[in-house]
Amino acid sequence: MSKNLSQRWNHFLERNRKSGGYLLKKIIMRRLYSIARAVLIFGLCFLILQPLFNKISASFMAEKDLYDPTIIVVPRNPTLDNYKIAAYLLKYWKILRNTLFVSLLASVAQVVCCTLVGYGFARFKFPLKKLWFACVILVIVVPPQTIMSSLYLNFRFFDIFGIIKAITGSTINLQNSIIPYILLCMTGMGLKSGLYIFLIRQYFRGVPKELEEAAYVDGCGNFQTFIRIMLPDATPIITSCFLFAFVWQWTDSFYARIFLKSTSLLATELPALPTRLSEYIVSLTGSGKASTAYGMAMISTGMIMTIIPLLIIYVIAQKGFVESLSQTGLKM
Amino acid sequence: MAKTKVAKPKHKNLSRKKAIAGYLFISPFIIGFLAFMLKPLCESFMMSLSEVKVIGGKGGFVMNFWGLKNFKQAFLVDAEFTRFLTTELTTMLTHVPATIIISFFMALILNQSFKGRTLARAIFFLPVILSSGVLVGLEYNNSLLSGMEEYIKENTNTSEITATLQSILSTTGLGSKYLETVYNIVNSLYDVVIASGIQIIIFLSGLQTIPKSMFEAATIEGCTAWEGFWKITLPMVSSVILVNVIYTIVDFFMKSNSQVMTKITNTMVLQMDYGFSAAMAWVYFLAVMLIIGIFSLITSRWVYYYE
């Protein structure tokens, strides 16, 4: 064994000598590079994951652990009380159902609309096409705040060309229902819809035209070709758009605060958690108020409870998120 | 002769049919754009130039035109708006180039093959989920750790390791100003890494479109990896860089935790001052457009299109 090793060593030295020291230098450089790369990747991964770990550890700590300077990461009195209190204060299961319902409905509406529009932009020639596509870019670029005040008032006093007012005598208040938001999603104006239209168009442009032409020759109509031929082909990009729409909808508080005031969602309830905790403690003890640290630990717990469904989806559909998007071949 | 006469209208008919089908496909977008984008955009511009009053009950709202008063209030009267806007713009000037460079660098590394690449990719895209929407805002407010630190200091008098290190470093005569910048860079690294998930994906997609044969040919001609990077990789992904620059700027300005955004939303929802909030939103929008214009002009000057 040792003879074999020394033989190989000698052989290596021989080769190195013949190459004029180049071989050894090359190997050392390569090793050094991969070590440096590993350190860098590990460091950045740690940087990303560390807040998550922090929150997880804080969510298991009892209140006195939070103030104990000798406890840094691992709680000494691990407890599930934080989760129980947070679930009670948030009415977790009820608003989880709400959030799931709203996110699913909105993201499905968004993806259906964006796929149709993206396909239309990728595969048909029609007058003013460039103008309309510029409008898509405009939708991506305009901050929602610019139009929000006007949209808000429009849905507060909703009317279609004054018809409803003429019939019933007053406008409809759509502010506290989910209808306006779904309407926005269905017409490609929801949260980041412009981006999805752009991505889907980009994907369809990469699909070979011959596929479609064969279908047309065989007597398939436009819509049938789209459903039967193009849609199955575009599953990767549609899934990843759906996943992004779902996840971003889940955590969005801006649209939710404006359109869905009466529906309590995870994203809108979460920031109120410390106040609720204080009220809860006052109602129990009659006096006092929750300390800041305890309120923050409670927020960490709430965030973990919000993120967990998303993390499960991410772990299952990781490939859908990452790989399919990198296949689209994005170009301006 | 007769044959061509028949054939020509038929062809025209087909392209017309196609055009109609195309319009049908994009019709949801057209309706949405006209009803929920163009109309509100015009309306909010009108609002920014007038005083908006909501009439209680079933009435609706009235606008009294009063010129540039809202804009004057935003720039001259309001104490917060200009300050928020300038901090936002100056942060952006450093944030966008940093994000682009770091995400490009990360994409280059994640494009190489090494053990555990799938895991590393998965972790790098995690921020796309974890730092979206309300979660970012909470993250910034989460002063749990600093609060704990103060409490510990008050009660135990034991100083932290990092604080000790910091005090040692700043007393040894190394310029403390330089160290300050180092601390700042280290602190903002987290923000940049968190914000660069999508950009890494876009860069990866760009890098994967570069044909391998190009690098092989270059290596045979005696090109080093360094030269290959500048002469092949960079020009080939330059169009993707343009996409990324625009995406990063838009993403930065649309972050829901930005101070300007919060102020606009609060003015609208809580104070019900629609005219003033519309004026601020328009100023913000124009600033964003201006910056996108400048950046894309600079970037598009050296974008190279292969094909």
Q: What is the pLDDT of residues B252-302, one digit of tens each?
A: 887 766 788 888 878 877 777 788 888 888 888 888 888 888 888 888 887
Q: What is the rounded distance in angstroms from the CA atom of residue B149 to the CA atom of residue A274?
A: 20
The structure tokens listed for A251 are 């955590």
ipTM of the complex: 0.79
Question: Which residues of chain B make contact with A132, given a CB cutoff of 8 A?
Answer: 26, 29-30, 33
Which pairs with CB-CB distance under 8 Å and at least 24 residues apart come from B71-74? B71/B279, B71/B283, B73/B276, B73/B279, B74/B276, B74/B279, B74/B280, B74/B283
Q: Among A104-113, A272-281, A322-331, B284-293, where is mean pLDDT lowest? A: A322-331
Calculate mean pLDDT across residues A131-159: 80
Residue B93, in any domain of the structure: yes
Is the pLDDT assigned to residue B139 strictly greater than 80? Answer: no
- In terms of domains, do B227 and B306 share one? yes
- In terms of domains, do B183 and B301 share one? no
**B290 at interface of A, judged by CB pairs closer than 8 A:** no
**B71 at interface of A, judged by CB pairs closer than 8 A:** no
Residue B288, in any domain of the structure: yes
pLDDT tier at A118, thresholds 50, 70, 90: very high
- In terms of domains, do B79 and B115 share one? yes
The structure tokens listed for B302 are 């050296």
Q: Helix and strand tally (H, E) in chain B? A: 15, 2
Q: What is the rounded distance in angstroms from the CA atom of residue B247 to the CA atom of residue B103?
A: 13
Q: What is the pLDDT of residue A182?
A: 87
CA B178 to chain centroid, in Å, comes to 29
The structure tokens listed for A277 are 């905790």
Q: What is the rounded distance in angstroms from the CA atom of residue B138 to the CA atom of residue B228?
A: 43
- In terms of domains, do B177 and B277 share one? no
Contact B61 A127 (CB under 8 A): no
- In terms of domains, do B174 and B221 share one? no
On whether the CB atoms of residues B182 and B89 are closer than 8 A, the answer is: no
On whether the CB atoms of residues A259 and A155 are closer than 8 A, the answer is: yes
Q: What is the pLDDT of residue B171?
A: 57
Computed over every residue of chain A, the mean pLDDT equals 82
Is the pLDDT assigned to residue A324 strictly greater than 70? Answer: no
Out of B175, B190, B205, a domain closes at B190
Structural domains counted in chain B: 2
Q: What is the rounded distance in angstroms from the CA atom of residue A149 to the CA atom of residue B273?
A: 9
Q: Which residues contact B166 (CB under 8 A, 6 or more apart)?
A: B183
Q: What is the rounded distance in angstroms from the CA atom of residue A251 to the CA atom of residue A107?
A: 13
Out of B145, B167, B190, a domain closes at B190
Side-chain-side CA neighbours of residue B192 (13 Å): 23
Residue B80, in any domain of the structure: yes
Q: What is the rounded distance in angstroms from the CA atom of residue A311 to the CA atom of residue B1?
A: 69
Would you call A112 exposed, middle or buried from its count of C-beta atoms within 10 A (0-12, 13-18, 19+)? middle
Residue B221, in any domain of the structure: yes
| Helices B144-156/A292-316 angle, 10° precision | 140
Residue B123, in any domain of the structure: yes
CA-based nearest residue to B261, from A152, A256, A143, A139: A143
Computed over every residue of chain B, the mean pLDDT equals 78
CATH number at residue B214: 1.10.3720.10
Helix H or strand E segment including A324: helix A318-326
Residue B31, in any domain of the structure: no
| Helices A92-123/A292-316 angle, 10° precision | 50
Q: What is the rounded distance in angstroms from the CA atom of residue A177 to the CA atom of residue A158?
A: 12
Residue B72, in any domain of the structure: yes
- In terms of domains, do B146 and B217 share one? no
Q: What is the rounded distance in angstroms from the CA atom of residue B268 to the CA atom of residue A259?
A: 13
Which residue has better confidence, A151 or B98? B98
Q: What is the rounded distance in angstroms from the CA atom of residue A191 to the CA atom of residue B133?
A: 11
Reported as a single tens digit per residue, the pLDDT across A21-61 is 888 888 899 999 999 999 999 988 888 888 788 788 888 88
- In terms of domains, do B270 and B182 share one? no
Calculate mean pLDDT across residues A283-311: 79
Question: Which residues of chain A make contact with B121, given a CB cutoff of 8 A?
Answer: 322
Q: Among A201-205, B104-108, B167-171, B208-212, where is mean pLDDT lowest? A: B167-171
Reported as a single tens digit per residue, the pLDDT across B25-43 is 999 999 888 888 888 888 8
- In terms of domains, do B218 and B159 share one? no
Residue A221 identity (one-letter amino acid): G
Q: What is the rounded distance in angstroms from the CA atom of residue A175 to the CA atom of residue A330?
A: 38
- In terms of domains, do B145 and B294 share one? no
Q: Among B78-87, B157-166, B230-239, where is mean pLDDT lowest? A: B157-166
Residue in the block written with tokens 């990063």: B248
The structure tokens listed for A329 are 């071949």
pTM comes to 0.81
Is the pLDDT assigned to residue B154 strictly greater than 60? Answer: no
Q: What is the rounded distance in angstroms from the CA atom of residue B286 to the CA atom of residue B85?
A: 12
Which residue has better confidence, B135 or B9? B135
Share of chain B above pLDDT 70, in %: 75
Share of chain A above pLDDT 90, in %: 11
Q: What is the rounded distance in angstroms from the CA atom of residue B128 to the CA atom of residue B223?
A: 37
Q: What is the pLDDT of residue B173?
A: 54
Is the pLDDT assigned to residue B210 strictly greater than 90? Answer: no
- In terms of domains, do B116 and B147 share one? no
The structure tokens listed for A227 are 């459903």
CA–CA min distance B199, chain A (Å): 11
> Could you list the residue range(s) of the whole structural domain that residue B229 is in?
65-131+195-307
Residue in the block written with tokens 């606009």: B264
Contact A322 B22 (CB under 8 A): no
On whether the CB atoms of residues A69 and A285 are closer than 8 A, the answer is: no
Q: What is the pLDDT of residue B144?
A: 47
CA–CA min distance A105, chain B (Å): 17
The top-scoring range by mean pLDDT among A41-45, A218-222, B6-10 is A41-45
Is the pLDDT assigned to residue B153 strictly greater than 80? Answer: no
- In terms of domains, do B86 and B220 share one? yes
Calculate mean pLDDT across residues B120-131: 82
Out of B158, B173, B190, a domain closes at B190
B163 phi and psi, to 5 degrees? -65, -40
CA–CA min distance A3, chain B (Å): 32
Q: Quick one: three-class SS letters along B282-299?
A: HHHHHHHHHHHHHHHHHH
- In terms of domains, do B183 and B237 share one? no
Q: What is the pLDDT of residue B3?
A: 46
Q: What are the C-alpha distances in Å from B237 to residues A198, A331, B233?
A: 19, 9, 6
Reported as a single tens digit per residue, the pLDDT across A69-116 is 677 777 787 888 888 888 888 888 998 998 999 999 999 999 999 999
Question: Which residues of chain B make contact with A188, given a CB cutoff of 8 A?
Answer: 28-29, 32-33
Residue B58, in any domain of the structure: no
